[in-house]
Amino acid sequence: MSHMGYGCLMAVDRDHVLRSAAALLTRKSTATMDEVAKGAGISRATLHRHFAGRDALVRALEALGIAECESALEAARLDDGPASDAVRRLIAATESAAGLLAFLYTENQLFEGEEQHEGWTRIDDRISALFRRGQLSGEFRIDLTPAWLTEALFGLLASGVWMVQSGKGAPKDFPRMVVDLLLGGALRHPAPPHDPAPRDPAARDSAAQDPAAQDSA
Amino acid sequence: MSHMGYGCLMAVDRDHVLRSAAALLTRKSTATMDEVAKGAGISRATLHRHFAGRDALVRALEALGIAECESALEAARLDDGPASDAVRRLIAATESAAGLLAFLYTENQLFEGEEQHEGWTRIDDRISALFRRGQLSGEFRIDLTPAWLTEALFGLLASGVWMVQSGKGAPKDFPRMVVDLLLGGALRHPAPPHDPAPRDPAARDSAAQDPAAQDSA
DNA sequence: CCCATATGAGACATCTTCGTCTCACAATGG
DNA sequence: CCATTGTGAGACGAAGATGTCTCATATGGG
For A201, phi then psi, to 5°, come to: -60, -15
For residues B128 and B149, state if they share a domain: yes
For residues A44 and A67, state if they share a domain: no
Residue B151 CA to residue B143 CA, distance in Å, equals 15
Burial class of residue B169, CB neighbours in 10 A (0-12, 13-18, 19+)? buried
For residues B22 and B45, state if they share a domain: yes
B119 located within any domain:
yes
For residues B15 and B80, state if they share a domain: no
Distance B34 CA to C24 C1' (A): 45
Residue A196 CA to residue A39 CA, distance in Å, equals 59
Q: Is the CB of A163 under 7 A from strand C?
A: no
Q: What letter represents residue A60's amino acid?
A: A
User: Which stretches within chain B are classed as H helix?
Assistant: 14-27, 33-40, 44-50, 54-76, 83-94, 98-109, 118-136, 146-165, 174-184, 202-207
Q: Is the CB of A48 under 7 A from strand C?
A: yes
Predicted confidence (pLDDT) per residue in B49-61, tens digit: 999 999 999 999 9
Residue A134 CA to residue A132 CA, distance in Å, equals 5
Predicted confidence (pLDDT) per residue in B27-38, tens digit: 898 999 999 999
Q: Are A106 and A100 in contact (CB under 8 A)?
A: no
| B1-16 burial: b if 16+ Cβ within 10 Å, else e | eeeeeeeeeeebeeee
- Provide the domain count of chain A: 2
The shortest C-alpha distance from B161 to chain A (Å) reads 10
For residues A43 and A71, state if they share a domain: no
Residue B156 CA to residue A151 CA, distance in Å, equals 9
For residues B37 and B71, state if they share a domain: no
For residues B16 and B89, state if they share a domain: no
Name every chain B residue with its beta carbon within 8 A of the beta carbon of A217: 79, 133
Domain assignment of residue A179, given as a range: 63-187
Q: What is the CATH number of the domain that holds B106?
A: 1.10.357.10
For residues B71 and B42, state if they share a domain: no
Cβ–Cβ gap A180/B28 under 8 Å: no
Distance B48 CA to C9 C1' (A): 14
Q: Determine which of B78, B80, B84, B128 to mutate to test the interface with A (most A C-beta atoms within 10 Å).
A: B84
Q: CA A32 → CA A21, A101, A180, B200, distances in Å?
A: 10, 19, 37, 60
Burial class of residue A38, CB neighbours in 10 A (0-12, 13-18, 19+)? middle
Distance B49 CA to D21 C1' (A): 13
B129 located within any domain:
yes
Cβ–Cβ gap A140/B187 under 8 Å: yes
Q: In a structure prediction context, what are the per-residue pLDDT tens digits for chain A, which is 217 residues long?
A: 333 334 344 566 888 999 999 999 988 989 999 999 999 999 999 999 999 999 999 999 999 999 999 999 999 999 999 999 999 999 999 999 999 999 999 988 777 667 888 999 999 999 999 999 999 999 999 999 999 999 999 999 999 999 999 999 999 999 999 999 999 988 887 554 444 444 444 444 444 444 444 444 3
Q: Is the CB of B12 under 7 A from strand C?
A: yes
